[in-house]
Amino acid sequence: MLEAAGLTTDEEAVYRELVAVDAATPDDIAGRTGLTPAHAERLLAGLERRGMVIRAARTPARYTASPPDVALLPHLRQRAEALEQARAAVTDLLETYRGTRRRDDAAQLIEVVTGAAALRQRLRQLQSSARHETLWFCKAQYVAMPSGSNTAEFDALARGVRYRVLYERAFFEDAGAVDNVVAGVRAGEDARSVPQLPLRMAIVDRRLALCPLVPGGPHGSPQEPTAALLRDSSLLHALLALFERYWADGVPLAVSASGTVTVPEGVAEGTPLSEDDQHLLSLLVAGVADKAIASQLRLSRRTVQRRVQHLMRLTGAASRMQLAWLAGRKGLI
């Protein structure tokens, strides 16, 4: 029972006997444990050197047990710390091992998952293992996981995992899709919408990605879906860059008090703005401060800030930096 504290079976027997009495001699301990007096005396001497027992009298030698919290807990803490250090060392070795094998064995980088049931199981496992962030591309017409069935997301959100989810516009036409988005956003999901997504994809903690190898859904392959589970590699980094690129273009989604998803229409590419708004955007892109913009446009700083907020809502920008980028992309200036 006390091997974890560094005691042998005989040492534990001796210590337990001393805990149960005020004091005992080596002969007393030998009689109670079945050990020889000489062996009992050697064990007591060893325990005394480690501070686990105290010699209470010299002649005849009598011993008492040190309190268990003093005698045992420090040893357990030291062992726990050593175990944690060993665990960290094993983790580092494992990463080194995998990194070495990845160079020669593609199976260490890519695992093929076939079938809707296997794909659903993998998606749940990935989300259950998430600790920091999950990124998701949600296309229309599900392949393996219908809207409303991804309960693993809510468990992860409750643990503090951040979800950034991109929905393509056609997704909202699927049965139950809107209710699913409403539930996700209310649970803490950070959701955005884009006109179209290039593929389905889920990325967990920037270390694992799951995406299809062939098109799926009602208008895709009639065969069982086949997906790839990607581990740390250049391909995974490319998928992360792809997600961030689409995320920057996404329109933030909100849920109204009545439970409806609001998807701002945004500004169509090339849609002209007023001359004042174009001037304001040009100054903003040039990095001119609000005070200087207000002076040039003969407006108050509060009015400038209000108009910038209006343009951000109009374009679906989440920040001024994104507004400046979208202004150039959409041909607004």
CA distance 163 to 156: 9
pLDDT of residue 266: 47
DSSP 276: H
Tokens of 219: 């208008």
Q: SS3 string of 32-54?
A: HHCCCHHHHHHHHHHHHHCCCEE
Strand order in the sheet with 208-212: 110-114, 226-230, 208-212, 201-204, 133-138, 162-168, 190-194, 251-252
> Pick from 247, 260, 124, 248: which is nearest to 186 by CA?
260
**Local confidence pLDDT in tens for the 333 residues of the chain:** 666 667 788 888 888 888 888 888 888 888 888 889 899 888 888 888 888 888 876 778 888 888 887 777 777 777 777 777 877 777 777 766 666 655 555 556 788 888 888 888 889 999 998 999 999 999 887 777 777 778 899 999 999 999 999 998 888 777 778 888 889 999 999 998 888 898 899 999 998 999 888 766 555 556 778 888 988 788 889 999 999 988 887 878 877 777 766 544 444 444 557 777 777 887 777 667 888 888 878 888 888 888 888 888 777 676 777 777 777 666 666
User: Could you tell me if 186 and 248 are in contact, meaning their C-beta atoms sit under 8 angstroms apart?
Assistant: no
> Two tokens at 320?
């001024």
Average pLDDT, the chain: 80
What pLDDT score was predicted for residue 144? 73
The partner residues of 135 in beta bridges, in order of sequence, read 164, 203
Evaluate whether 22 touches 64 at the Cβ level (below 8 Å). yes
Nearest CA to 240 out of 206, 198, 212 is that of 206
Q: Other C-beta atoms within 10 Å of 137: how many?
A: 22
Residue 291: the pLDDT is 85
181 contacts 172 by C-beta, under 8 angstroms: yes
List of residues 6+ apart from 127 with CB closer than 8 A: 134, 150, 152, 153, 155, 156, 161, 202, 204
Instruction: Give the torsion through C-alpha atoms of 86, 90, 93, 95, to 10 deg.
Output: -130
Q: Give 180's contacts (C-beta < 8 A, 6+ positions apart).
A: 147, 148, 150
Residue showing tokens 């913009």: 293
DSSP of 80-113: HHHHHHHHHHHHHHHHHHHHHHHHH-GGGTEEEE
Which pLDDT score is estimated for 196?
86
